[in-house]
Structure 1
């Protein structure tokens, strides 16, 4: 009888933890109902000036609060991604989600960083793109490209289309 009681107790404990996580995620989604969905890809998107298909979409969070992950799809879940830089913006296709678009005129900062929610890498191993998702919402999207030369090229390509100064290339705190 002892092992059965322990097994039931463990299963019950796991169910409580999973239930609390589900409730927390749904509460976060309700709090973020005012955040508009990420823009869809424009209909007549030109050829990309740079593309990388071996990337990871890490997270999008509220600007200045890396622990406040955006729970609005397609920004909610991390995954492997294809990233294309076009003259009009950045197209990000995360596996299992609809692709989204960051218009070049919405980008306010492009920087290198080391950490965000649940991800820490080598110094300057992440690219942070700060952008305005709506008139009242500034967010930061974090991208991981493992290959250092491709990461540098992606950073340069995004910086070039966003018409930002060289100061935006500094390390993001």
Structure 2
């Protein structure tokens, strides 16, 4: 074997090893998170959305830890999606993956961030929604396709949160 062939073989072995370790890590993360409750499904007759925006569902992470991706129930899968705000909750309708529906009583905060696991963009480029499910806090990121939609989506979700429980959300959230 000449030097070039040896280098190619070693490189291929290294690539296979790295991919294998990544797959093992993903599987172990799924096993650790298998006890997480699945988000509720969209109500049978959801009605008309108050606001909807096209974009990309980025990821769901554990609350406050923007690198701790939640893999259970497909919440860690990036996908093209539509974020639709209804009077009863928020729906991320993902193309090629399951819907993620968050009832308004589970929503706790919405803000703009620079990034989270798997996606980093310009300052305030992601709409990040904080929510709870079975006493566990999560953050879900969404990147709107059009910049103008970001402000409107933030306002619609903020209005939904403020309407959900004014005792836990006493201050209005300003759009920057």
Could you state the TM-score of these two structures normalised by the residue count of structure 2? 0.89
Correspondences of 1:24-173 after superposition (within 5 Å): 24-53=25-54, 55-133=55-133, 135-163=134-162, 164-169=169-174
Residues 74, 99 of structure 1: 8 Å contact kept: no
Alpha-carbon deviation of 1:145?
A: 1.0
State the Cα deviation string for residues 79-110 of structure 1 (Å, max 9, x = none). Answer: 21111110000111122111120111100111
Alpha-carbon deviation of 1:73?
A: 2.6
Could you state the TM-score of these two structures normalised by the residue count of structure 1? 0.90
User: Within 2, Cα distance between the matches of 1:136 and 1:34?
Assistant: 13
User: Within 2, Cα distance between the matches of 1:74 and 1:169?
Assistant: 32
Secondary structure of the corresponding residue to residue 67 of structure 1:
coil
Partner of 2:165: none
User: Within 2, Cα distance between the matches of 1:42 and 1:100?
Assistant: 12
Structure 2 spans left out of the alignment, 5+ residues: 163-168
User: Within 2, Cα distance between the matches of 1:161 and 1:169?
Assistant: 14
User: Within 1, Cα distance between the matches of 2:105 and 2:122?
Assistant: 30
Partner of 1:18: 19
Residues 29, 72 of structure 1: 8 Å contact kept: yes
Secondary structure of the corresponding residue to residue 123 of structure 2:
coil
User: Within 2, Cα distance between the matches of 1:154 and 1:165?
Assistant: 20
- The root-mean-square deviation of aligned C-alpha atoms, in Å, is 1.7
Partner of 1:7: 8
Higher strand share: 1
